[in-house]
Every structure is written in structure tokens, then in C-alpha cells.
A and B are shown apart, each in its own frame.
Chain A
Amino acid sequence: MNSITTWARTKSPWVIHFNSGACNGCDIEVIALLTPRFDVERFGIKLAPSPRHADVLLTTGVVTTQCAQRLKKIYDQMPEPKFVIAIGACACSGGVFKGNYSVEGGVDKIIPVNMYIPGCPPKPEAIIDGVVKLLNSLKEA
């Protein structure tokens, strides 16, 4: 039974994307993943319409004060088991915006993060690599 759930989990990770204060640079790279050249649907990855349907939360951008509670809310709405991938330098640590007055910092200040993908923005290949590594770690666990 366990092996079946792991198999299902690793073959169809539905993702939800939340921008908590990004410059759109990472966002357009995340969207580019879904388009013909990179096409992550090969790995069964699909964009879910609601956090309640999602297994993986892709967050981009630094967390702004106004978005912090939203991010927490969206994370809480996701069913267990859930995983968070922080995409881009800002989501990982705050990036260039660290220390600004309306900014909280990286995503890990608000919710636990499973995978960090640094870059400004990371190339789509790097994001695919990160997602595949996360899936492999699930298989081993």
C-alpha cells in the first residue's frame, strides 16, 4: 500500500504557484515550464487551481508584510503531505530586497521550505532539476 501511494505521489505532483512579492522574473520562468519547450507535464506535474488540490507549493519572491498572512493561509489550506519549493534568490533569502521596510524576508521565515532553488531568476532547467530531486527524495524516503 505504501509503495502505491509513493508511486502515485511521485508520478503526479500537482503544484500551486504563489507569488508573495516577486518581480515576475521567476514567475515567467515557472510559466515557461508549462509551455512546449520545457513541458513539465512529462513528469506528471500539473498546475492545480486551488491550494486544496495541490501537493507542492511553488513560491516565488520575497515575502512582503501584506502577503505574509496569505502565504501562511495558503500553506495551511494544502492537504498533507505537502512540500514547499522556494524559487529564486528572493524566496530563498530575501535577495536584493532584504531589509526593506515592507519586507519580511525569505519564505522560510513564514513556512517550512523543503527545497531551495537559487538564481535570479533560476533557469527553467534548474527548476526542473529541483523538482525532480524533490521527487527522488520522496521515493527514497
Chain B
Amino acid sequence: MFSDNIQIKRNFLGKATIILESKSIKDAIVKLIKKDNNLGISAITGIDLDKTIGLLYHLRTSEGIITLKTEVQKNKPVISSITDIIPGANFHEREAADLFGVIFKDHPNLKRLVLPESWPKDLYPLRKDANLADISTKCNAISYKTDESPSQKGNLVNIIVGPQHPALLEPEKFSLKVDGEIVKYVEPRIGYVHRGVEKAAEKKTYLQDVFLVERICGICNSCHAIAFVASVEKILGTQVPDRGKYIRTIILELNRLHSHLLLLGHAGLEIGYEALFQYLWRDREPIMDLTEMLTGNRVIASSITIGGVRRDIKENHIPLIKKQMAHLQERMIFYKNLFENEPSIKLRTKNVGVLSAKEAIKLSVVGPVARASGVPIDVRKDDPYSAYEEIPFKLVTRKDGDSYSRLMVRLDELIESAKIIDYAVDNLPNGPYRIKVPRIVVVGEALTRVEAPRGALLYYVKSNGSAYPERVKVRTPTFSNIPAFQKTAIGGNIADVPANFVSLDPCFSCTDR
């Protein structure tokens, strides 16, 4: 049995929770794969349970999330790796190894992922007993070697991109090994933006945490807020009023609109089409204005809160929203024509970085990247939250799985999002937009998935009955999508790397946290 010092009263960990011994996890997953071909891994959550470390394997199945619970001894945290059966688990295991010190037996590459190279050995920050006083001086005292310089081994040339690079907006490093023009190997090094948000969330109250998790990512900030808030509301058993749900939906879709426009513009920049970047970003500004009008801030909305939203939509806002949505749809038809007929876009993106549906499932890829490969997954449809259950919209998929399809999926989604906002504004229910909730959250744990612009965003929240959460786990969409880049870049041309990479819509502030 799963020994736990706290008795869990409420449990919301997807469709089913199975408690297993650590040695039978792998067999269980093998059996589940035999039953369900679409099985992928969503996340591996570690929790410090005093004498043991709890590991929660959240598996994505056709019917929803299944959670496998196990625990390993703290002084000997060894468990067998599942990377050979689900390759998408690679990064999840490396993260758990970094932050909790769990050793995954037979893992192909159990190196540091998010912590600095100079981080002291045997110090695992998310364990409750970790001594993190003066940690930055300790880190700076340790010297380490990097493979920074471009080196040559036989025919392979090592090319290092980043951490500071004109093509990257965020500090990340990629080591590419190329033979002539062909990429042979890609090794990403993330963690330059690791700010320790999961640990910080344990020291703040639930309400403060809403503001903290929004600042994990400035682009999809409302999605982080809704995922955290929805988890807390599940534990509390709060019913959000209908008007609050609709306003949340409008804000989340505005978030998606601005994020997709930003990405398409950035893609234009990466494929050497700067005019497209300038055009798309000009059309993005009205969305920012709408966000500012409804929430009071252009970027970080801080609108969604526990129990509803913080601001109501006023009567005079509605015609403005409708006007902008009509204008946006008009513009999107123009861009769709442009993407379908402009040879320079097609030449740079068609047949670049092809990811088949089978590989997409195996690598547990999420969001528009999976949908472009013909995998019809969308949390808004599969596991509806806010008002998505009541609002009709189309699930956009494409078949080819190349960079072009990934961009086109987003263009079609922009039109769908504009329609969702239109519908939500027309059918806005009357009544309160927020209800009061208690400050202290009852004991319980909850897992929430939401569809962020980049794909499924997962939050696990565990409460111990105090004003502070016991554990907050964030699994972001880009974290799941990076293996797809590793896979598709290999064998391709080095000149195609930017176009391939940007079509995944990478966001590293999300990934690193």
C-alpha cells in the first residue's frame, strides 16, 4: 500500500489511480501499452514523503489520464527506466533525477538537465530536507568544464548554438553534430532559465501562487493560472459561476490568439521573410489592446483567480471585442492565402522536419505539433474545462507532419479561436463572475490538464491542509515537444534547423521553470 503520512480525502488524478510497487511499474506500463496503442507519458511527478520519495507516472491514454503511484526509499532511490518502451519519458526521468535524486536504471543519458553544471552533488533541491542556504556561493565555487568550443572528430563537426544567439530569444544551448550539411546528432541543454518555481510555490500561499505561476511564462500566462486555479478548485470542490467560466474562456483564447500570431511572425523571421513578421505583429497589437482592456495589463493578465475572475466584462466592451474578432478573421483569410500561395514559405517549410503520427505518439508529443501529424488530441475536447464543453469549435488536424503543417494548424486555430470568443461574447451568462473561497485548502491532491497555445499543460497540486501547498508540479508543453525536435532534425539539412525548430513553438521559460 501507498504509505502516506497524510490521509488523502479527495483524489483527482485523472480517470484511475493505481498503486504499485516500484519494481512492477515497468511491467504495468508494458501491459497498458499492449491494451492501448495511443499510450504516452504525460509527466513523472516526484514528491518528498519524508522517508520515501513518491513517484507518480501520469500516463496519457485514449480515455484520459491514468496515474501510477509508487515510492522508492530515500537513501536508495533506484527504479528502472521506461525510456526503452516510451522514448518520450527521457526528459521526465532526467528531471526527476536532477531534482529528487532518483536513479533510473538503464537510462541512456542520465545527465544534468535543469540544474547548473556547477550544482553540488547529492543536493536535490525539491527534497524537503535540502539545505539550500548560500547555494549560489557554493555553486560559483565549483569549477566545471563545458564543451563550448567547436571541435571536430572525423567528419563530424560540432556546432554550438547559444546560450546567447541572435536567432534565439531565450538562452538555451544546442550542440549540433554535422557531417557536411547533414545533421547527425542534436543535444539540447536546457535549464538556463530555471528559477526554481516549484520550490518557491511551496513557500507561498495559494493566492500568491496564482501570481507566481503566471510568471513562469509571459506568453501563456493565463493558461498557467487556469491550470493551477482549476487544481485548487478541484480540491476545494468549488463551483465557478457560469459567467466566470465564460470570461475565463475569452481570456484564455485571447492568450492563444496572441501566442499563435507571435509564433507565426517569429517563423517568418526565421525563414527569412521579415515583412511577414512585421505584418503579423502589427495584427497582434489589437489583441494586446483587448487583453489590456479586459484585464488591465497587456501581457501578464493576472485575471484568473481562485473562484472565478478578478474583473467583469462590461457592456461597452462587447461591440469592441466583436469588431476586432471580425477584423482578425478577415486578416487570417489573407494570411491563409499568403501561406498557401507564397513559394518562399513553402520552399522553406514543406517536407522539413517530418514527424509521423506513430512517432508523435511514441514521443508523447502534444498540442499543435501532434495535431499537425494527424493525432487528434486537444484537451479542450478530451477533458473540457472552463466553458469549452458548451462552446462548439472544430478540432484542427493536418496529415503531413512537416513544418508547414505545423504552421498551418496554428493559422486554422486562430480562426477557430476568434469564433470561440465570438460565441462566448454572444452567449455570456448573467450573474456573478467570482465567488469567495476559503483561504485554507483541505487535504487532497489534484491533477489538471489544460490546452495552452503550445499543447497540453499539466499541473499537479497537493495540499496538506495548511495555507501553503505541499507540492506543485508543472509539466509544460515544450518539455514534451523537445524530443520531437531531436528526432526530426537528425538527417535533415543544417539550414532547415531554424525552420524546423521554430515550427514547434519552443518556449524555454516554460520548460525550465
**A residues near B, CB below 8 A?**
18-29, 31-32, 35-37, 47, 49-51, 61-62, 64-68, 70, 74, 95-97, 99-104, 120-121, 123
Contact = CB atoms under 8 A, between A and B. Distances in A.
Nearest to A73: B164
Given A18-B171, A25-B215, A28-B219, A121 B300 contact: yes
Nearest to B135: A101
A36 B136 contact: no
Contacts, number: 131
B299 interface: yes
Given A31-B281, A65-B139, 7 more contacts: A18-B171, A24-B217, A24-B507, A25-B219, A32-B285, A64-B116, A102-B116
Interface stretch (B57-65, B189-197, B348-356): B189-197
Nearest to B168: A19
A101 B229 CA distance: 25
B346 to A, nearest CB: 24
A35 B166 CA distance: 17
Nearest to B280: A35
3 tightest CB-CB pairs across the interface, nearest first? A25-B218, A35-B281, A100-B196
A64 B300 contact: no
Contacts of A20: 171
Interface residues of B, number: 45
Contacts of B194: 21, 64, 66, 102
A61 B218 CA distance: 11
B293 interface: no
Contact of A121 (B117, B278, B299): B299
28 contacts: A19-B171, A21-B192, A21-B194, A22-B193, A22-B509, A24-B217, A25-B218, A25-B299, A28-B218, A28-B299, A31-B169, A49-B166, A64-B195, A65-B140, A66-B117, A67-B163, A70-B163, A70-B171, A97-B196, A100-B196, A100-B199, A101-B132, A102-B115, A102-B116, A102-B125, A102-B135, A120-B215, A121-B299
Given A49-B166, A96-B215, A28 B262 contact: yes
Contact of A101 (B125, B262, B299, B507): B125
Give chain A's interface secondary structure class.
mixed
A120 B300 contact: yes
Max chain A Cβ within 10 angstroms of own Cβ: one of B140, B211, B281:
B281
Contact of A23 (B132, B200, B217): B217
B278 A35 contact: yes
A56 B200 CA distance: 33
B443 interface: no
Nearest to A35: B281
Contact of B195 (A62, A68, A121): A62
Interface string B151-177: 000000000000110100111000000
Contacts of A102: 115-116, 125, 135, 194-196
Nearest to A97: B195
Contacts of B164: 18, 51, 70, 74
Interface string B100-138: 000000000000000111100000010000001001100
Given A67-B163, A96-B212, A61 B193 contact: yes
B166 A32 contact: no
Contacts of A50: 166
Give chain B's interface secondary structure class.
loop
B439 interface: no
A59 B140 CA distance: 21
A55 B317 CA distance: 43
Given A24-B509, A96-B211, A100-B200, A65 B221 contact: no
Contacts of B281: 31-32, 35-36
B51 interface: no
A96 B195 CA distance: 10
B298 interface: yes
Nearest to B196: A100
B282 interface: yes
Contacts of A64: 116, 192-195
B97 interface: no
B308 to A, nearest CB: 22
Contacts of B79: none
B214 to A, nearest CB: 8
Contacts of B262: 28
A23 B511 CA distance: 11
B372 to A, nearest CB: 23
Contacts of A99: 200
A38 to B, nearest CB: 9
A117 B464 CA distance: 39
B56 interface: no
Contacts of B285: 32, 35, 37
Nearest to B169: A27
B409 interface: no
A44 B299 CA distance: 26
A79 to B, nearest CB: 16
B216 A23 contact: yes
B116 A66 contact: yes
Max chain A Cβ within 10 angstroms of own Cβ: one of B125, B200, B215, B288:
B215
Contact of B196 (A23, A25, A68, A101): A101
Contacts of A68: 140
A62 to B, nearest CB: 6
A23 B199 contact: no
Contacts of B216: 23
Nearest to B203: A99
B167 to A, nearest CB: 10
Nearest to B220: A24
Given A25-B299, A29-B299, A36 B282 contact: yes
Contacts of A100: 195-197, 199-200
Nearest to B302: A120
